[in-house]
Structure 1
Amino acid sequence: MSERFELRLECEEFLFDEAERLDDGKLHEWLELLTDDVEYRVPRRVTRERGSEQSSFSEDGFLYREDMGTLTTRVERYDREYAWAENPPSRTRRFVSNVRVHDESDDEIRVKSNLLLYRNQGDTTEHDLLVGEREDQLRRVDGALKLARRTVYLDQTILATRNLSFFL
């Protein structure tokens, strides 16, 4: 196997493991996959006219703009009785696909992937579907991959979900 192919498989395994931890509600274990200086962003999508030279994503408005401190605070909040948005807990399933390795330098790897997130909560047939592309910067720390930066570009401009109490 080529080195490039093996690197893509390693990145896929990392992303699949991350998705499993999130879907299984192992949020503290998920935090272990992040670097101390992690950046986690989900910019708002803005509808533009065809041919517009402006980005389809806001440079100022974010659904998430987090770092390790705020992510840790959010995860710890789920352990308390005040996490009303997650009572009962969401049932999620993340489908990560089309993993592409774009750049590699020293200990940094830029990876793009597609995400389909299904979420259901309580005893209802209602569910949320979120779809988008993720652009990740993975970093090798002590031989293991960790997430150093994530930007999620959702396809929706308006989210039909009641809250964003889960991670993409």
Structure 2
Amino acid sequence: MIKMQSLTNINIYLNYDKNEVNENEYIKIVRFLNKEAELLEYRKYLEWLDFLHPDVEYIVLVREIKDKKDNSISNGLLIYDKKDTIKIKIDRLTSNYAWSDNPPSVSKYMITNILAYNFMDYYLARSNVLFIKYRSSDLMYLTYKRADIISKDMKILKRIVLPDVHSINMQDLTYFL
């Protein structure tokens, strides 16, 4: 089982490029990621929860640029959730008390540049994502790199999100990335 590691070791998932999957596995992974994005877009959170492994780790990092001279970049932790905390968030979002998104926003996930690898006994899928949120006259977007560890039975075991910006410019972060 792949467990949370130090933030420096997370770069392994963000940069791994060995042992590419075959064409059939690649198509299976792309379809899985597209279906997952569709569930999130249509707020089918309980169905989306079934796409998550019982031991899932959902990690959102924040990019920290430390020094202009040596161009050093490090990552800080913004969100770390397990399945039980994700379920609590879903229960809140689907209740009558989720006022921050009422009326509901329109969201889209554009998943591109998908690369997929065999990684230990799992798949590792890396992608770039453009997340768009439209509400009333406000258009917000966020681009990020994502690394997903997916079990062979197609459950997300680990998701690592690394936004391209060091400050997320959204009024609320009630969406799963």
Aligned to 1:164: 173
- Shift of residue 25 of structure 1? 0.9
Within-5 A mapping of 1:1-168: 4-50=22-68, 51-53=70-72, 55-58=73-76, 61-62=77-78, 64-106=79-121, 108-121=122-135, 123-124=136-137, 126-140=138-152, 144-168=153-177
- In structure 1, the residue corresponding to 2:169 is in which secondary structure? coil
Amino acid across the alignment from 1:84:
W
* Distance in 1 between residues matched to 2:124 and 2:57, nearest whole Å: 14
Name the structure with the higher strand share.
1
- Shift of residue 48 of structure 1? 2.5
Aligned to 2:6: none
> What runs of 5+ residues in structure 1 fail to find an aligned partner?
none
* Distance in 2 between residues matched to 1:38 and 1:105, nearest whole Å: 17
* Distance in 1 between residues matched to 2:38 and 2:71, nearest whole Å: 39
> How many residues matched?
157
Q: CA RMSD in A?
A: 1.6
- Shift of residue 163 of structure 1? 0.7
- Shift of residue 75 of structure 1? 0.5
- Shift of residue 6 of structure 1? 1.3
| TM-score after normalising by structure 1 | 0.87
| TM-score after normalising by structure 2 | 0.83
> What runs of 5+ residues in structure 2 fail to find an aligned partner?
1-20
Amino acid across the alignment from 1:148:
L
Q: For each residue in 1:50-83, what CA deviation from the matched residue of structure 2 results, as whole angstroms up to 9, or x when unmatched?
A: 4255x4311xx31x21100000000011121211
- Shift of residue 49 of structure 1? 2.1
Amino acid across the alignment from 1:132:
Y
* Distance in 2 between residues matched to 1:28 and 1:86, nearest whole Å: 18
- Shift of residue 5 of structure 1? 1.3
